[in-house]
């Protein structure tokens, strides 16, 4: 019996537990202070009325033998795939339903997409990053080469002529830095991948937050992306579905390597490793991507976008350099005076009763930074902005 | 760029598509004949009233900000884990909530559990079998050694002294053969695994169909199983959840190999590769395992069990040797006169208008057999039994 030795080499997943413990300890000592939570990467809900109505209808169908749904296609129902096709069509991206794979959320597909590649593939990860890209790669025994976001490159690393790798994870708009590649910048990655026969895994989970016209929502808005990119997305932030679990992955039929169709390989992977997503959740997703659902989502997101403006304004007035707050629900800033993210976390907690996320939770290049999130209420965010300006 | 070469070596997943195409062709030529479907491995529903009520309540919670649920623990909510703890407690199996990992169904966990083991582990699979055990092992580059079920061993292979392997997949009650290990038989596997430091992956998806007192529902009813077994189960057949997608995996804290805790490794795997299961679906699962839910499930399963008796009776009266129909919703029989499963499938379709599943879909040892399922209506099953007796 030999276990997968890579697991033992990963750091324990204590990060958010540690934040929770520190916050709880502070709260126990200061029971009357109001804490403002800018650390959370979660939506506050509720779901839109049109989604609730679709859920109720689907539950009703499951209550009667004549309308009951058992096993569904592993890669998604026709109606949910059609909803995603239409969602992409609004931005001029023409996908076929077969190219869309409905999932229980982006995390699940990010956890499995690496299966398609040889374990000796060289994996590039634009960092700091959501830890799953690096962790799942290491769990499979793959070598990870960090591609560092820095203040100099505006936390948007780009490929140089000498950059080499087989697989690259890009997240734009970015968690945790809040940055987003423009069309011109992202085109450089597409061209690089096509030239090198590399594959881009593009995490588009925050696409619904894009406000600037020169920032693409989907990488498929760019010519050539269909021959080099797998795009993974989620309704978590688009439609407040973090607790509902629904996402999708696009693997274009034009994406081939070494004479093999990655689309066919992913079909094989999904039909073998999963039995698809709940009927009622897929009906909820269809409703979330309907015109009425999208209108509601836009209004919900506008609240978070306004929070981003409020926080960005406060940091600007305090004379601080930061990224994000415009095309993504996060702001990212270097800690003052060379502090670690954890030290600055403690300072903001003690001096301003604000909870942020230390950059140390986002792999290479994250240390010495903190992430602020825009998912709080308007009132709490405005109060946090006031307190931030008193700290600086 | 190197892809995972194992994918290209798997047979294309055409099996159920091929059955569908043959049935559609027959139906087009014989539009007025009534087809009886004994090929399906799916429930006919509907969900129980107590589950529907729980779903409606959970949907209502998601419609209001004060009761809205966003991200949940990756390994399952406390309430759903408590429901599973209590479900096992009824049979005298004491699990702790931490040992239970809630999933989107057994297929998803079967697709990922192999991650914990080295790619050069030797995998034994008791066959014929649900194809995912072999396919996911091959996709990871592992060597698969089939352990054949035969008429001689009653399709219940047992370990001999010379049997060697690191990982073994067992499914009891079994899909497709309908057989089930007794306590004494299964204890031999537990003892073998503990002696060799092997690990059993025990698929208990059909446990709710067990009728015989000497057949365990869970492998943890046997002493020593907690130090050698991961048990994977599903509410698909227990509570008619095939279209709802909910299951769970038990990884005992006592299960260690090479000084590592498999429980800790699986926790790390799940928290990295998934963000858990939908809140509303977990509330449905909690209701399905409540006393009222379990009463309803038992009645639904009693219908399928009676179908099993009807089919078993017909085959017995026709003088045919077969397995199953008692502790699982399947019957398995060798085809007459050395026919292939596909040839016998065609004969039953043409002579009796009965759709069965050719054994060729269940890997090694499946060829030359067919599987009959008990998931039809009482009337269709009784009519199928009559037609079977005229064929033989």
Q: Is a pLDDT exceeding 70 seen at residue A12?
A: no
Per-residue confidence band for A363, with pLDDT thresholds at 50, 70 and 90 = confident
Mean pLDDT confidence for B122-149: 94
Query: What DSSP assignment string belongs to B200-256?
Result: EEEE-TTGGG--STTS-SSGGGSTTGGGTEEEEEESTTTSS-TTT--EEEE--TT-E
Token pair 């958010």: residue: A16
Chain B environment of A244 (Cβ under 8 Å): 62, 278-280
Total CB pairs under 8 A between chain A and B: 253
State residue B49 phi and psi, 5-degree precision. -55, -35
Report how far apart, in Å, the C-alpha atoms of B110 and of each of A22, A279, B56, B134, B203 are.
37, 21, 30, 10, 9
Per-residue pLDDT tens digits for A188-243: 999 999 999 999 999 999 999 999 999 999 999 999 999 999 999 999 999 999 99
B122's tokens: 């030797």
DSSP string, A227-248: GTEEEEEESTTTSS-TTT--EE
Confidence of residue B45 (pLDDT cuts 50, 70, 90): confident
Q: Which two tokens stand for residue A345?
A: 């976390």
Task: Tell me which residue in B65, B71, B197 faces A42 most closely, judged by beta carbons.
Answer: B71
Shortest CA distance to B58 belongs to which of A295, A67, A58? A58
Closest CA to A80 of A287, A291, A298: A287
What pLDDT, on a 0 to 100 scale, did the predictor assign at position B15? 83
Q: Phi and psi (nearest 5°) for B166?
A: -100, -35
What is the Cα–Cα distance from A145 to A143, expressed in whole angstroms? 7
Q: What angle do CA B276, B282, B288 make, to 5 degrees?
A: 145
Which residues in chain B touch residue A12, judged by CB atoms under 8 angstroms apart?
Answer: 268
Contact across the interface for B13 and A262, Cβ inside 8 Å:
no
Q: State the pLDDT at residue A164.
A: 94
Q: How far is A337 from chain B (nearest CA, A)?
A: 33
Residue A352: which region, alpha, beta or left (left: phi > 0; alpha: psi -120 to 50)?
alpha
Q: How confident is the model at residue B13 (pLDDT cuts 50, 70, 90)?
A: low
Nearest to A344 by CA among A372, A305, A318: A372
Instruction: Answer whether B12 sits within 8 Å of A268, measured CB to CB.
Output: yes
- Has residue A13 got a pLDDT over 70? no
- Percent of chain A past pLDDT 90, that is, above it, reads 91
Q: What is the pLDDT of residues B201-243, one digit of tens each?
A: 999 999 999 999 999 999 999 999 999 999 999 999 999 999 9
**Average pLDDT over every residue of A253-263:** 96
Does residue A328 belong to the interface with chain B, where contact is any CB pair within 8 Å?
no
Cβ proximity of B121 and B167 under 8 Å: yes
Taking only residues 352 to 381 of chain A, the set having a beta carbon closer than 8 angstroms to any beta carbon of chain B reads: none
pLDDT band per the 50, 70, 90 thresholds, residue B91: very high
Tell me the HSE value of A64 on the side-chain side, using a 13 A CA sphere.
Answer: 6
List the single residue in A with minimal CA-CA distance to B277: A245
Torsion angles phi and psi, residue A195, rounded to 5: -65, -40
* Mean pLDDT for all residues in chain B: 95
| Parallel, antiparallel or unpaired: strands A369-373 and A357-358 | antiparallel
A15-29 and A341-352 are packed helices; what angle lies between their axes, rounded to 10 degrees?
30
Distances from the Cα of A6 to the Cα of A14, A36, A112, A207, B290, angstroms? 18, 38, 16, 33, 40
The answer to whether the CB atoms of B2 and A120 lie below 8 A apart is yes
Q: Which two tokens stand for residue A175?
A: 């968690």
pTM of the model: 0.96
Task: Kindly state the average pLDDT of the residues B353-381.
Answer: 94
Closest to B80 (Cα-Cα) out of B53, B51, B100, B110:
B100
Question: How far apart are the CA of A11 and the nearest CA of chain B, in angstroms?
Answer: 10
Choose among B191, B298, B279: nearest CA to B239: B298
* Residue-level pLDDT at A352: 95
Distance from CA of A233 to the nearest CA of B (A): 14
Among A118, A242, A279, beta carbon nearest to B71: A242
What's chain A's average pLDDT? 95
Q: Collapsing DSSP states into helix, strand and coil, what is residue A310?
A: helix
Min Cα distance B99 → chain A (Å) is 17
Q: Report chain A residues whose CB lies below 8 A from the CB of B273.
A: 107-108, 110-112, 132, 136
Residue A126 and residue A110: Cα distance in Å, rounded? 15
Contacts of A64 in chain B (CB under 8 A): 46
Q: Which two tokens stand for residue B252?
A: 């005992």
What pLDDT sits at residue A11? 72
CA distance B298 to B319: 31
Residue range B130-154: mean pLDDT, rounded? 94
């Amino acid at each position: 019996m030999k276990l997968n030795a890579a697991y033992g080499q990963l750091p324990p997943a204590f990060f958010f537990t540690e934040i929770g413990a520190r916050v709880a300890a502070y709260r126990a000592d200061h029971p009357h202070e109001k804490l403002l939570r800018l650390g959370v990467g979660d939506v506050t809900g509720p779901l839109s009325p049109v989604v609730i109505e679709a859920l109720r209808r689907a539950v009703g169908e499951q209550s009667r033998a004549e309308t009951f749904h058992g096993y569904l296609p592993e890669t998604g129902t026709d109606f949910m795939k059609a909803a995603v096709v239409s969602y992409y069509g609004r931005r001029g991206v023409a996908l076929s339903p077969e190219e869309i794979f409905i999932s229980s959320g982006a995390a699940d597909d990010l956890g499995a997409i690496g299966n398609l590649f040889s374990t000796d593939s060289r994996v590039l990860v634009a960092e700091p990053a959501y830890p799953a890209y690096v962790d799942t790669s290491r769990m499979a025994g793959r070598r990870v080469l960090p591609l560092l976001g820095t203040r100099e490159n505006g936390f948007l690393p780009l490929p140089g002529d000498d950059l080499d790798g087989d697989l690259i994870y890009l997240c734009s708009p970015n968690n945790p830095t809040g940055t987003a590649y423009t069309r011109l910048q992202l085109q450089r990655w597409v061209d690089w991948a096509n030239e090198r026969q590399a594959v881009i895994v593009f995490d588009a989970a925050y696409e619904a937050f894009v406000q600037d016209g020169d920032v693409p929502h989907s990488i498929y808005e760019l010519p050539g992306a269909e021959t080099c990119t797998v795009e993974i997305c989620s309704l978590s932030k688009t439609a407040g579905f973090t607790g509902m679990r629904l996402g999708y992955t696009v693997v274009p039929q034009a994406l081939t390597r070494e004479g093999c169709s990655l689309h066919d390989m992913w079909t094989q992977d999904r039909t073998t490793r999963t039995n698809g997503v709940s009927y009622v959740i897929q009906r909820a997703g269809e409703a979330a991507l309907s015109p009425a659902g999208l209108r509601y989502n836009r209004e919900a997101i506008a609240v978070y976008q306004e929070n981003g403006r409020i926080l960005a304004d406060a940091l600007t007035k305090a004379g601080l350099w930061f990224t994000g707050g415009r095309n993504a629900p996060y702001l990212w800033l270097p800690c003052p005076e060379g502090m670690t993210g954890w030290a600055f976390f403690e300072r903001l907690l003690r001096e301003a009763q604000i909870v942020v996320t230390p950059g140390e939770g986002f792999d290479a290049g994250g240390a010495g930074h903190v992430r602020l999130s825009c998912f709080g209420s308007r009132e709490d965010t405005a109060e946090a902005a006031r307190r931030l300006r008193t700290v600086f």
